[in-house]
Amino acid sequence: MLDKNSKIYIPGHKGFVGSRLLLNLQGNSFTKLITRSRKELDLFNQKAVTDFFEAEKPDCVILCAAKVGGILPNSTKPAEFLYENLQIQNNIIHQAYRTGVKKLIFLASSCVYPRNCPQPMKEEYLFQGDFEPTNYGYAVAKAAGIKMCQAYNEQYGTNFVAINPSNLYGPGDHFGEDAHALASIIRKAHIAKTNNDNTIPLWGTGIACREWLFVDDLADIIRQIMLSENISENFLNVGYGQDLNMLELTKTILKVVGHEARIELDSSKPDGMPRKLVDTSKMSKYNLKASTDLEEGIAKTYKWFLENAA
């Protein structure tokens, strides 16, 4: 059984999800949190990861480390996304098994579902169609991680849980040129407001639908999953349970930012998957819930952006 005195290792503790998870656990009085920077531990190096696990012997691993990015880097660097994510998760998952880790939580992605997946996307729809072409490298790696957790559970009796968050946003996100859609739109809306521009660009047709999960809700859900002894799933969706199209998302962001602008659609750019709404039935069965309203979450994100990234 894991508790507040368990040794918890968070690979990727400086990343978007990892940094918010670290704050959540610190705020809930967890006392033995293990972190290593990239300079301190090269997760691509199998021997370095092996030596680390044998020395530290964590009780729990929450695998947040990954190469991530928006639609542009995913579509132009599929080999990097495939190779780097496979290397990280293969090294960590295998050493977690070898050193007797009590529980591992692997962060997958809703990108693993087929491009034309029935909505909402149920866990059993995995591998029921082709991946979205614009992010297939990332999707293949994450799907492999899900199956790796399942295989180790079946063969070795481990307790490895793969969770599948919907699109994430919130404080600590990356707001650069290769950011995810919501963060990118916040940056564009802020620039338009600052420069008094009356237009804002938006990639695609605006009709693609996305579900957005506030990162601090995810961090809280991860903590609950970590402490629960009742969750028997190999693979579990985690989402907010509602989606909206990209045009409406942009209008909501402009409202929060406090700027009126005409949205210029660039239909020459890809939409990505037509829709991504995860089915949260299994998540609800375990009384797990994301509670932050989208507009409230965007306001908190924009506040963090103004204070840290603008």
Q: Which two tokens stand for residue 250?
A: 């942009």
Tokens (6 digits) for 86: 């496979």
Q: Which residue has the tokens 């947040």?
A: 64
Helix/strand/coil percent split, the chain, to 5: 45, 15, 40
Whether residue 286 lies in the annotated active site: no
Among the listed residues 138, 152, 169, 302, the single catalytic one is 138
To which residue do tokens 């909206």 refer? 244
Of 51, 46, 31, 40, the C-alpha closest to 12 is 40
Residues found in the chain = 310
Q: Which two tokens stand for residue 295?
A: 């507009």
Q: What is the CA 48 to chain-centroid distance, rounded? A: 25
Catalytic residues: 138
